[in-house]
Structures are given as C-alpha cells and as structure tokens.
C-alpha cells in the first residue's frame, strides 16, 4: 500500500489577517505557520493509522511551495510518514498546484491520495478533485470515515443533510475532514526521526496558471452591538422582526 498525503502550510488559526503592497499580498510578518489542520489532523493521522495496522504501508508527503515550507513539512514528518517531496514553486492557482501534485502522484503510482477537505487560507476545496481528474481516478469528497478492506476503500462522506457510504476499488483520491481521525501530538522520538527522513526537493513541471489574485479586502467592520436587557426579551424579538427583518 502506497499513500500520498498532501500537506499545505497555512497561517495559524489565531493569526491576524492583514495585507501589504497595496492589498495585493498577505502580510506574513509575525505569522506562525502550521500544517493545514485538515491535512494534519485527519489525512495524515489516518494514513499513519493505516501504516500502524499494516507495517508494509509506505507514506509519502507532498507539498507545493518554497523552502519556507520545510519546517512545516518536518513537523508533519515528526507525526509520521516515510519521506516528503516538496515541489519547489509557489502559486495561488489551484489548477497549477493540483497539476504539480498529479505529476508526483503519477510517478509514484500511489494506491491512495489523501487531501484535507480544504485549506483554511484559500478555502477552495478543489485541489483533490483536480488531482483525481488529472490522474483519472475516482474522487470521494468530504470523508468522515475511511476504512480499507484489501484493495477496496469504504468511505463515509458528507452529503447535503446527511451522509453516504461509498465503496470503491483503489486507487482513489479522498478529501478528509472531522471524523476520519483524531488529532495527535508529535512525540520526541518522532521529532528526532523527522530530522533524518528524506525531504526531496523537485522542480515543477511546466503548467499554465489559470487564475491570479488581483487584490485582497477585509470585511467591513460591524457597527457595534445593540444590547437588550435580559428581562426584556420581547424587545429583542421586536428588533429582530422590525429593524433587522431577520424573523
């Protein structure tokens, strides 16, 4: 069993979001970078659990980004995984990124490609679907449970208003979210081992970029809260009905 886990670096969830260069770039000064939580907590941990069940499993991590991704990739390796591949390029275009990952996926002949449900910075929820298309594999989105039975994957996935259970023969691309696994904390042994695990840097394949970010904006500030005394709930209902027209 060969698993490819896609890892993305994102700003820590408490980061102040601000922009620079005339609102064209994310202000990264003082920002802590973390592994995208969906990649770390769910896809990576589930891959590690599968390896714990079957020691012959090989886990490769892949990230698309510059050398500034290396600390985050090492942190992922400290949790588990045998080696990491970094495609040395940067882009905000999901097609460009997916095409890089698809290239790695094709070369490595993986049985399973895991992505997180989305990244918490660009929130596209699209790279997994694109990779699946580019390698012509089935795609199961928004998984909440993932089991293997030989070479068949049994996956619960979120649909509108509920869940569906899917069965599919490998290879398959799966996007993971809550329910697939539980967050783990790396231990000292893992951190030491990660230092010597291979981190291969490869150059990108030539692919067109199909989108680019022109500018960023912050949402308009709220006008301020209107407080209603706790003993006058009727007033809140009146305001919601007459002023906000929300009920």
Ligand X SMILES: Cc1cc2nc3c(=O)[nH]c(=O)nc-3n(C[C@H](O)[C@H](O)[C@H](O)COP(=O)(O)OP(=O)(O)OC[C@H]3O[C@@H](n4cnc5c(N)ncnc54)[C@H](O)[C@@H]3O)c2cc1C
The span of 60-68, 75-83, 113-121, 191-199 binding other proteins (CB under 8 A) equals 113-121
172 C-beta neighbours (distance < 10 Å), count: 21
Nearer to ligand X, 108 or 179 (CB): 179
Q: Are 115 and 175 in contact (CB under 8 A)?
A: yes
Which of 31, 58, 129, 202: binder of other proteins (CB under 8 A)?
A: 129
166 binds, among other proteins, ligand X, none (CB under 5 to 8 A by kind): other proteins
Q: Is 46 exposed, middle or buried (0-12, 13-18, 19+ CB in 10 A)?
A: buried
The kind and range of the H/E element at 43 are none
Q: How far is the CB of 62 from other proteins (least distance, A)?
A: 17
| Angle CA 32–24–40, to nearest 5 | 30
Q: Are 85 and 106 in contact (CB under 8 A)?
A: no
Segment 26 to 45, residues that bind ligand X, using CB under 6 A:
37
204 binds other proteins (CB under 8 A): no
Residues 6+ apart with CB under 8 A from 226: 239
**Contacts with other proteins: how many residues (CB under 8 A)?**
80
Nearer to ligand X, 2 or 184 (CB): 184
13 binds ligand X (CB under 6 A): yes
Nearer to ligand X, 37 or 80 (CB): 37
Name the site residues for ligand X (rule: CB under 6 A).
13, 37
């Amino acid at each position: 069993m060969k698993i490819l886990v896609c890892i993305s670096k994102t700003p820590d969830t408490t980061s102040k979001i601000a922009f620079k260069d005339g609102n064209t770039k994310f202000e990264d000064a003082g920002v802590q970078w973390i592994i995208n939580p969906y990649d770390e907590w769910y896809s990576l941990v589930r891959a590690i659990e599968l390896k714990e069940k079957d020691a012959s499993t090989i886990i490769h991590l892949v990230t698309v980004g510059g050398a500034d991704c290396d600390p985050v990739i090492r942190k992922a390796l400290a949790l588990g995984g045998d080696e990491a591949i970094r495609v040395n390029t940067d882009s905000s275009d999901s097609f460009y990124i997916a095409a890089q990952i698809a290239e790695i996926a094709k070369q490595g002949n993986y049985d399973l490609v895991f992505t997180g449900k989305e990244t918490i910075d660009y929130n596209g929820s699209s790279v997994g679907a694109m990779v699946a298309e580019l390698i012509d594999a089935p795609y199961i989105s928004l998984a909440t449970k993932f089991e293997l039975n030989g070479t068949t994957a049994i996956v619960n996935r979120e649909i509108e208003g509920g869940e569906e259970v899917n069965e599919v023969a490998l290879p398959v691309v799966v996007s993971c979210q809550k329910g697939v696994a539980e967050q783990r904390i790396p231990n000292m042994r893992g951190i030491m081992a990660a230092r010597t695990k291979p981190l291969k840097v490869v150059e990108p394949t030539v692919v067109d970029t199909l989108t680019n970010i022109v500018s960023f904006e912050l949402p308009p500030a709220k006008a301020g809260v209107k407080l209603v005394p706790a003993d006058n709930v009727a007033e809140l209902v009146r305001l919601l009905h007459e002023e906000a027209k929300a009920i």
